[in-house]
Amino acid sequence: MRVFSSIIMMSALLAAAWCGTVGATGGAIPPKEPEASEWRQEFGISGRDMVSAGRSTYFVLEPGFQLVFESEDAKLVITVLDDTVDVGGVTVRVVEEREWEEGKLIEVSWNLFAIDKDNKDVFYFGEDVDVYKDGKITGHGGSWRAEKDGARPGLIMPGTPAAGMKYYQEMAPGIAMDRAEVISVDEKFKTPAGTFKKCLKTMEGSGLNPDEKEFKIYAPGIGLVKDGDMLLVKYGFSGEEAVGQQP
């Protein structure tokens, strides 16, 4: 009888570890933060056919493509540039991000991406960052480069995302350890640039500070449409009238 009771107790403890349990006050005790091993960190980069231009369902890596976001007091412009650089033997594309708050430029970053030619996974190889204050560069916080100081490429966007996927987007120990979990691939979302269906919803945060999390939305054929409280207001290839119009 004692053996049988022990088995029951052990089963309850295992269930609690996965699903949470009930505390003394009757409230649910949430499960602990997943260990780092539960988030995918190995991607077999060396065995992939990586190219510097292309697109997947939720990520456009083609020169000239641009996304413009706005909120009440902020603006963000993301532009895929013509420029490429070599990182660890891989030719990667430069994507520029410019961010303003209350009309003042606060940050410019040059992000480095490449896409798997076969399955369309998009990888993040690092970024160079200029931080501004009152029109002057004050620092380069958040800068990192794969193959330097132990940093490795991360998966910024799976070619075929599915609910439940967990993966590191940045792997620069002590600098940038952003990661994402796919919540849904069937969201409907409205922005000033249009209403989009079959959107991807992710919960993104950092392994350096697991308590900080935010939701992002990506639309098919476009990419990011919600970043924090900023929403997409224009998109398309820069210089074309199609920017800001739905396809």
pLDDT digits (tens), the chain, 247 positions: 443 344 334 344 333 333 333 333 344 444 334 444 589 999 999 899 999 999 999 999 999 999 999 999 999 999 999 999 999 999 999 999 999 999 999 999 999 999 999 999 999 999 999 999 999 999 999 999 998 989 999 999 999 999 999 999 999 988 999 999 999 999 999 999 999 999 999 999 988 888 888 999 999 999 999 999 999 999 999 776 545 543 3
Q: What is the pLDDT of residue 211?
A: 82
Q: What is the pLDDT of residue 158?
A: 97
Q: Measured in Å, how far apart are the chain's first and last C-alpha atoms?
A: 68
In one-letter notation, the amino acid at residue 232 is L
Give the whole-angstrom CA distance, residue 47 versus residue 119: 13
Give the whole-angstrom CA distance, residue 218 versus residue 197: 10
Q: What is the pLDDT of residue 209?
A: 85
The pTM score is 0.81
Longest dimension (CA), the chain: 78
80 neighbors 63 (Cβ within 8 angstroms) = yes
Burial label for 231, CB within 10 Å (0-12, 13-18, 19+), is: middle
Token pair belonging to 142: 């958040």
Give the whole-angstrom CA distance, residue 185 versus residue 198: 6
69 neighbors 79 (Cβ within 8 angstroms) = no
Nearest to 131 by CA among 160, 158, 109, 104: 109
